[in-house]
Amino acid sequence: MIEQILLAIEKLQGQFRAEGRRLIGVGVAVPGIVAHLGGDARVHAPNIGWRDVPLERMIRERTGLPVFAENGAKHSGRQRCVGAGRGATHAVVALWGTGIGAAIFTNGHDLPGCSFERR
CATH number at residue 33: 3.30.420.40
Nearest to 26 by CA among 57, 66, 62, 53: 66
Question: Kindly report the CA angle at 70 between 64 and 75, in degrees rounded to 5?
Answer: 125
| Structural domain span for residue 112 | 2-118
pLDDT tens, residue by residue, 44-64:
988 889 999 999 999 999 999
- Indicate the number of domains in the chain: 1
Q: Is 108 helix (H, G, I), strand (E, B) or coil?
A: coil
64-84: average pLDDT: 73
User: By the 8 A CB rule, do 69 and 56 touch?
Assistant: yes
Q: For residue 87, which phi and psi values (nearest 5 degrees)?
A: 85, -5
pTM for this entry: 0.70
